[in-house]
Structure 1
Amino acid sequence: MTSTPSPWPRPSEAVRELMRKGAELAQTLPPEWIERLNQALFSSPEEVRLLEDPVILAACRRANRAELLHWANANLQRPGEPVEPYVSADMVDTARELARRGASELLMNVARSTQNVAWELWMKMAFSLTQDPVVLEEFLEVSLRSISGFIDNNMRVVTQIILEEKNVQAHDEHIDKRSLVSRLLDGRDVDTEQFGKRLGYSLSQKHHACLVWSEIPDAELRPLEEMARALAHLSGTVAPLIVFAGPATLWVWSNAAKPLDLNMLQGVARQFPKIRAAVGSPGAGVNGFRRSHLEALTTQRLMGRLAGAPAVATIDQVRMVSLMTQDARAARQFVLSTLGRLATEPMVLQRSLHAFLANGCNITQTAEALGTHRNTLLRRLERAQDLLPVQLADHRIRIAAALELVIWSIPLDNGEQ
């Protein structure tokens, strides 16, 4: 005989009303809830390394919000009743990508961490909704059953997606560009000439590696490819190697026939406002192919971590910032002691002084670079220098380094002029 599952017990009316009130609060997506749920994505060193990929990180954050809204809406309509599983398109893409990387178990770890945080936030709220011990006990029991059941069911769906993806991989005999390139990046001994022929790209030349990606949902592939080709064109390449590396991410290599011009890089960025790119330094042969790619990855990770990072950046731009942000507390103290009151002033003053130093303290060049009238720039520079605790002429390098940190860490307000 097979036993039938026990029915989901109907909560009391008092608890149903509390579930509805709590769901109303959750539906507003309280900022502290979203922040705590996002922090749950980094519960282990392995997850931290994985989520340094800004595309996967952005997808996981969107999935957190979408799942919270789904659960809250369900409890508004049917408080305390079972919630149907919901796996967003972001979670489907992420599950498939992690399966391809052989890291699908990390998604399960993230789900458990998220469940723990969600329960912690909900339980804290519960004590503000009622002081009746009998009602509170039932409310917590119903809540725990609802949250854990919802996440368990979601993970069953995700597990099936992962198994299907692994099955596709196991039966796919076609070796694509990503597989070939991954063998190169892993440092395996390969026949360079043979691999070059299969990839349609010479590995013996000097390379610029680049990562092109988008963090918006449902990003289309064509604009990414167009930007990849535009960047390759800057280095003198007509036919770059472009590899689809995951959801909304391309790996790109081009012949480093000429140096990249930073102004032209930013010009390309303006043509593709919703796309980002990270560029490694030029390197020759297979070793240069690998090293430049690793540098592009390093650049991408820093861009994903610092809010003020530009849309396109090179490894040379981030080397100093990367070193200086290893110790966030020390970096913050350095900025405050170097910039004084300027550190908390509007960004337009900080960016004006930074541009002035970057342009060799040439007023005319700085005004042209910023698109600002000369007299306006002079007033801003005078104000910025008045706010500094040290003399600009005696501490230019130190001040420039502190301004670099500030600019990379704070997003530019679109309303600034």
Structure 2
Amino acid sequence: MEPPECTPAVKDLIRQAAQQALDAPQSWFDEIDEAAFSASDMERIADDPALRAFTVRSTHALLRYWAAANVADPGAYVPPLVDDLTSTAQSMVYRGHTEANVDAYRLGQNVAWRRWMKIAFALTSNIDDLRDMLDVTAQTIGTFVDATISALTAEIASERDRMTRGREAARLDAVSGLIAGGRVDRASAELIPGYRLDQVHTAIVVWTTDPSPRLSELERTVDDLAKHLGAAGVVRIVASAGTVWGWLGGVTQDRLRDVGRIVDARTDWQIAIGSTGPGLDGFRTSHLDAVRTQHMMARLDTDHSVGTFADVEGVLLLAASPDQANRFVAHTLGPLETGYPELREAVRAYLAEQCNASKAADRLFTHRNTLLRRIKRADELLPRTVADNALNIGMALEIRHWRGATSTAD
């Protein structure tokens, strides 16, 4: 960016003022510090002796850096001071401050600017030179502060990401060790604080194939499920760029029956829910079952948002070979494989309710006679009727239910 144009007289004014700022008494800096620490969200920094001292040193360094740059090259744009940027970001992130406080910078800048104007008015009575000097330095100060805030914000984000990835990697290693059969030691227990292993566990896997996954939304899904199901505890681990593992404590299978109702079918992610079991063995087994459910949903390219191990355990066995499963579905269902979804659901509900038409109708929120008409129509389309081939039709319908619409037989 080209610096503002200014006359030699204006440059000389800027140089003189910048030198006075460099030689300013400590009371000037105290006034700027007081203004900066009065900003919202700065109370925790002000109350932390180490971080307060660090912030004061950084603020004074920034002011002196800008003033020294204008003594050397009056009116030129000053690049952000990045010498201690990493250590500043680390100090802030390690103490729980995850963003630069813009208000603090602006309040400090306002006080410094008032001091700067007093210096300028004391140096000259030439209105034109004074106007140009203040115009040029207002631009360079504003650009310098904006660039400094942007640089610090970016460094804080990078440091937060590094720290998060390091912590998540350690948690993932510890949990992976438990899943693999490792013993529970103090280190692994401390990485999942507040979550008891001596309770009933239900594991979940939330994942997406989106090329730009939003992990915060996947993590929030775990938390929302825990809240909806009344979990006694919850822990979640970032397993990869698009996958989050979770465990819900104290949730029974009965509570999981309506879990699909709280998940928006339009979301870009899917949820696999494992079995439920007590203690460390339940923690491990439930997760392995959730992963098996996830793999089956991915392998069959299902369009369902939620799958539970309890619902798909039989399909896991039947669909171990996708090609064989596709052929079995095609031969068993005939035209029902690719069309007539209402008929498929009618037969599936009818078989799930042990051929009780009234219960099946209630399950589908329809009239019993409507259900029976659909069963009769399905019999006309099936290679073998429901009565003659109930077991195979039931298995084929389960596979077809979980399989995506794009998977077809050879």
- Which interval holds the TM-score relative to the shorter structure? 0.5 to 0.7
> 1:339 matched to which residue of 2?
333
Q: 2:243 aligned with 1:249, yes or no?
A: yes
What are the Cα deviations for residues 167-204 of structure 1, in whole angstroms up to 9, with x where unaligned? x79x9589742232123223223326971575321112
1:181 aligns to what SS in structure 2? helix
- Give the residue type in structure 1 aligned to 2:208: S
Shift of 1:246: 1.8
> 2:290 matched to which residue of 1?
296
Shift of 1:281: 0.7
Q: Distance in 1 between matches of 2:258 and 2:199?
A: 23
> 1:351 matched to which residue of 2?
345
Q: 2:384 aligned with 1:385, yes or no?
A: no
> 1:181 matched to which residue of 2?
175
> 1:306 matched to which residue of 2?
300
2:290 aligns to what SS in structure 1? helix
Are 1:269 and 1:275, in contact at CA under 8 Å, matched by a contact in 2? Answer: no
Q: 2:389 aligned with 1:395, yes or no?
A: yes
Shift of 1:312: 0.8
Out of 221, 225, 249, the residue aligned to residue 231 of structure 1 is 225
Q: Return the TM-score normalized by structure 2.
A: 0.52
> 1:240 matched to which residue of 2?
234
Are 2:319 and 2:325, in contact at CA under 8 Å, matched by a contact in 1? Answer: yes
Change (3 A) 1:198 1:259: closer
Out of 395, 408, 411, the residue aligned to residue 405 of structure 2 is 411
What are the Cα deviations for residues 351-383 of structure 1, in whole angstroms up to 9, with x where unaligned? 221122223434444344435555544432221
Structure of higher CA gyration radius: 2
Q: Distance in 1 between matches of 2:404 and 2:384?
A: 23
- Give the residue type in structure 1 aligned to 2:391: I
- Give the residue type in structure 1 aligned to 2:376: E
Out of 241, 252, 259, the residue aligned to residue 258 of structure 1 is 252
Q: 2:351 aligned with 1:318, yes or no?
A: no
- Give the residue type in structure 1 aligned to 2:281: N
Shift of 1:211: 0.5
Show structure 1 runs of 5+ residues with no match.
Answer: 1-163, 413-417
Are 1:204 and 1:286, in contact at CA under 8 Å, matched by a contact in 2? Answer: yes
Show structure 2 runs of 5+ residues with no match.
Answer: 1-157
Change (3 A) 1:208 1:382: same
Q: Which residues in structure 2 correspond to 1:116-265 (within 5 Å)?
A: 176-191=170-185, 195=189, 198-233=192-227, 235-265=229-259
Out of 267, 274, 279, the residue aligned to residue 280 of structure 1 is 274
Q: Which residues in structure 2 correspond to 1:84-123 (within 5 Å)?
A: none
Are 2:234 and 2:249, in contact at CA under 8 Å, matched by a contact in 1? Answer: yes
Shift of 1:306: 1.0
Are 2:318 and 2:325, in contact at CA under 8 Å, matched by a contact in 1? Answer: yes
Q: Distance in 2 between matches of 1:214 and 1:328?
A: 22
Q: Distance in 2 between matches of 1:404 and 1:349?
A: 14
Change (3 A) 1:346 1:256: same
Q: Distance in 2 between matches of 1:222 and 1:298?
A: 24
Q: Distance in 2 between matches of 1:398 and 1:306?
A: 19
Q: Distance in 2 between matches of 1:277 and 1:173?
A: 24
1:280 aligns to what SS in structure 2? strand
Change (3 A) 1:234 1:385: farther
Percent identical pairs in the alignment equals 35
Change (3 A) 1:323 1:338: same
Are 1:213 and 1:249, in contact at CA under 8 Å, matched by a contact in 2? Answer: yes
Quick check: 284-293 or 176-185, which moved more? 176-185
Shift of 1:291: 1.4
Are 1:235 and 1:255, in contact at CA under 8 Å, matched by a contact in 2? Answer: no
Aligned residue-pair number = 247
Shift of 1:302: 0.7
Are 1:321 and 1:405, in contact at CA under 8 Å, matched by a contact in 2? Answer: yes
What are the Cα deviations for residues 126-178 of structure 1, in whole angstroms up to 9, with x where unaligned? xxxxxxxxxxxxxxxxxxxxxxxxxxxxxxxxxxxxxx9xxx79x95897422
Q: Distance in 2 between matches of 1:300 and 1:319?
A: 12
Q: Return the TM-score normalized by structure 1.
A: 0.51
